[in-house]
Amino acid sequence: MEKKSREGQDGGPGGGVGGRAGPGRWRGLSLVALLAAFAAGAVVAVPAADSVDRYFSSNRFCATGCHVMEATVSQEYQQSAHWNTKTGVRPKCADCHVSENLTAAMWDHLVGTRELFSFLFKGIRTPEAFEQVRPEGADRVRLAMLGNDSKNCRRCHVMEAIKPEKKRGERQHAEAQEKGITCIACHYNLVHKEVEPSPEFLRRAGME
């Protein structure tokens, strides 16, 4: 109702979208142009963000986009229980390392890409050079997981549904649920080469 009556007013002599001339016509045109630009932007931007996300999230980019990754973390992961699963469910790099939400995922890529660039420009081109920065990398990933309650692990694993085979696991999972301890606090050194946990990690994980 409200809309109709306003259209009526704008559509008066010399004005409105249907008018022949006058400022009203330009107002109408620029609104149409704005809407069109917005629609075009949305049509281009959403799939672009989506395919960029898919590209950077693929194992192909993560493992072979960077030879250093291929020679190190990627090979280690292929020795792990997350690669050789009984059921054939095989997490991708991104399942553990990239956020689910698209906007957050784009952010992760920006940060991740920056790190890749720093690999290339700071001369970290060899596995030997990578080993120098690995502890820092492991620590960053761990602290991030502590900070988001191991969100990526919970995409696949439902805490209440896990049935650890050993008594020790059973006991610690009961304790984890009771005290709200998060996965990475206990399950670090999960799929890559072992790295000693940093004092800061242990302190924040409450595992001192």
**Could you say which residues in the range 43-102 bind ligand HEC, by CB under 6 A?**
62-63, 69, 73-74, 77, 81-82, 85-87, 89, 91, 93, 95-97
Query: Would you state the structure tokens that stand for residue 204, as one six-digit string?
Result: 């924040």
Considering the complex, what minimum distance in angstroms separates the CB of residue 168 from ligand HEC? 5
Q: For residue 12, give Cα distances in angstroms to 3, 17, 33.
A: 15, 10, 22
- Considering only 51, 155, 200, 203, the residue that binds ligand HEC (CB under 6 A) is 155
Using alpha carbons, select from 102, 104, 78 the residue that is nearest to residue 92: 78
| Residue 18-37 contact track with ligand HEC, rule CB under 6 A, x = bound | --------------------
Phi, psi of 200 (to 5 degrees): -65, -40
Nearest distance from C-beta of residue 203 to ligand HEC, angstroms: 16
With CB under 6 A as the contact rule, the residue among 123, 160, 168, 199 that binds ligand HEC is 168
Asked if 173 touches ligand HEC (CB under 6 A), the answer is: yes
Q: By CB under 6 A, is residue 201 in contact with ligand HEC? A: no
Q: Which segment (16-24, 33-41, 105-113, 145-153) binds ligand HEC by CB under 6 A?
A: 145-153
CA distance 84 to 174: 27
Residue 198 DSSP symbol: P
Examine residue 205 and tell whether it contacts ligand HEC (CB under 6 A): no
The answer to whether residues 201 and 142 touch, using CB atoms and an 8 Å cutoff, is yes
Whether the CB-CB separation of 184 and 142 falls below 8 Å is answered with yes
The rounded distance, in Å, linking the Cα atoms of 94 and 97 is 5
- If the CB atoms of residues 10 and 115 are measured against ligand HEC, the closer one turns out to be 115
Which of 11, 16, 19, 137 is the binder for ligand HEC (CB under 6 A)?
137
Provide, rounded to whole angstroms, the least separation between the CB of residue 120 and ligand HEC: 14
At 4, list the tokens. Answer: 């109709």
